[in-house]
Amino acid sequence: MEAWVHLAVAILLPAFFGALVAVIFPARWRNAPWVTAVITSGLAFAASVAGLVYTASRGEVRYYLGGWEPPMGIELVMDPLSAFFCAVVTGMAFFVFIHGKTVVPRETPGKEAAFYSTALLLVGGLLGIVLTGDLFNLYVFLEISSLAGYALVAIGDRRAPFSAFRYLILGTIGASFYLLGVAFIAMETGSFNMGDVARVVPALGDSAPATVGLILIVFGIGLKMALFPMHGWLSDAYTYATSTSTAIIAPIGTKVAAYVLLRGCFYMFDPDFVREGIPLTTIIGYLGAVGIIWGSVLAIAQSDLKRMLAFSSVSQVGYIALGVGLASPLGMIGAVLHTLNHAVMKACLFLVNTNILSRFGHTDIRRFDRTFRIRMPWTMAAFTLAAISMIGLPPTAGFFSKWYLVLGSWENANYVFLGVILVSSLLNVVYFFRVLEKIYLRTDGEPYDEKNEREDAAVEREESPASMLFPTVFLAASLLVLGLANAFIVTYFIRPMIPSGL
């Protein structure tokens, strides 16, 4: 029992440790920062999975940093919810780092150490947000991850610094609102500790300052999560950053914000109060619903693959918000499962995007053609599978998170949500099949003939190197596994995390 307590800190430390170590190697050890990043994120991933299995069966683990007990000290709390999010964050980081072996030296030559160090700081900050049991400490980790995130976004093409600056301004506003909210809650409850807050808030009854505090937190975090209509920063930030930066930020950055949303609405406060008293979750849900449609429509309008994927992220985050909005066990299952599924899908898709960019030098969908399939068959197969999962067709993972959300919508008799989920799936079909047609088919209106056959036979296969191909294909294949294993995940990992009041 005693040894397991250290799991919480074992998840957190490797990332920060790696961030420090990555910069100390001599410059001629070119691969050392990459190796550091892969090993440390791999260790954190292993610790997270161990923590997930442990907490799912035996409940939460508390770790007092420096031996100081709360409310004086800061505690790390690893419960099924936080362990799950840690596993998602570290797992995605691990695979994206593996993928970066040849990409990062090409995209940021000579600055590999700085890149990996910053990326590990981002991961460490996100893990800290998920693990900490202290509201103010969460703000500190939020800033760590955000600052690292701004830096990562700023490395990119000429437009990247501007989009990073915009992200910085908006992100700081969001963080400030969060901090303001924390101040309200701390004033009212007398503690920064989430556990204490959760115990005190029900006793306060209808407390205006605590309610305002929660609303401010939700507003600030909603900005970080790119919840409609606060998603403006996301598309440019994702599009102009280097492809590995985007691949590391996109799958996990907004998810952790979703975690804070879940933690605040369902664990710190009484779910009934949040649902009925101030219809906060309902508002979040409807904003998510609008975001789903809006993001999909804008994704259809894009001609650049990376930008299309960025808008699709806005839409997919909406699903998570919609699950929160249902404020029911089924909604929560859908939201949490979709966090995992979408992280894997989006990581896979951004890795595909990187593979395409490295091989062809552009990601302009209008210039895609059927030689893509012949030159990179495995990458394109991964794209196809991930696209099918994004659309939400069984038996890929994407279907099942939607299934729970649909069940939850029926249960709440919320036909608007139901309609949104169905319509958005069709919109996803539009923007993904548009790309698939380009990749696989002759698209100039004439039938495929002998001449095409000869042309195609002359095209050589130029698949990405193994370090890029393995994570891409592995993530794509895991979409099938996650789809088939979803009942297992729900029963063993998600059910135990559902708070009693929900």
134: which strand partners? 193
Query: For other proteins, which is the closer residue by CB, 290 or 485?
Result: 485
Q: Distances from the Cα of 369 to the Cαs of 285, 363, 383, 461, in angstroms?
A: 39, 12, 14, 14
Q: Would you count residue 403 as binding other proteins (CB under 8 A)?
A: yes
Between residue 470 and residue 489, which ones bind other proteins under the rule CB under 8 A? Answer: 484-488
Stretch that binds other proteins, among 21-29, 103-111, 146-154, 446-454 (CB under 8 A): 446-454
Query: For other proteins, which is the closer residue by CB, 223 or 333?
Result: 333
Q: Please report how the helices 32-58 and 7-21 are oriented relative to each other, as an axis angle in degrees rounded to 10.
A: 170
Where does 365-465 have alpha helices with state H? 371-375, 377-391, 397-411, 415-440, 450-458
Query: For other proteins, which is the closer residue by CB, 411 or 462?
Result: 411
CA atoms of 500 and 502, how far apart (whole Å): 6
Q: Would you count residue 20 as binding other proteins (CB under 8 A)?
A: no
Q: Would you count residue 426 as binding other proteins (CB under 8 A)?
A: yes
Q: Would you count residue 276 as binding other proteins (CB under 8 A)?
A: no
Identify the residue whose tokens are 């981002």.
122
Stretch that binds other proteins, among 87-95, 181-189, 219-227, 437-445 (CB under 8 A): 437-445
Query: For other proteins, which is the closer residue by CB, 67 or 445?
Result: 445
Stretch that binds other proteins, among 27-35, 188-196, 223-231, 387-395 (CB under 8 A): 387-395
Whether the CB-CB separation of 77 and 61 falls below 8 Å is answered with yes
Q: What is the DSSP string of 111-157?
A: -HHHHHHHHHHHHHHHHHHHHB-BHHHHHHHHHHHHHHHHHHHHSBS
Between residue 333 and residue 362, which ones bind other proteins under the rule CB under 8 A? Answer: 333
Q: What is the DSSP string of 14-47?
A: HHHHHHHHTTSS-TT-TTHHHHHHHHHHHHHHHH
Query: For other proteins, which is the closer residue by CB, 208 or 423?
Result: 423
Q: Would you count residue 441 as binding other proteins (CB under 8 A)?
A: yes
CA atoms of 151 and 237, how far apart (whole Å): 11
Q: Please report how the helices 80-107 and 243-262 are oriented relative to each other, as an axis angle in degrees rounded to 10.
A: 170
Q: Would you count residue 5 as binding other proteins (CB under 8 A)?
A: no
Binding mask 450-469 for other proteins (x = CB under 8 A): x-xx----------------
Q: Binding residues for other proteins, per CB under 8 A?
A: 333, 388, 391, 393-395, 400, 402-404, 406-407, 409-411, 418, 422, 425-426, 429, 433, 437, 441-443, 445-450, 452-453, 484-488, 490-491
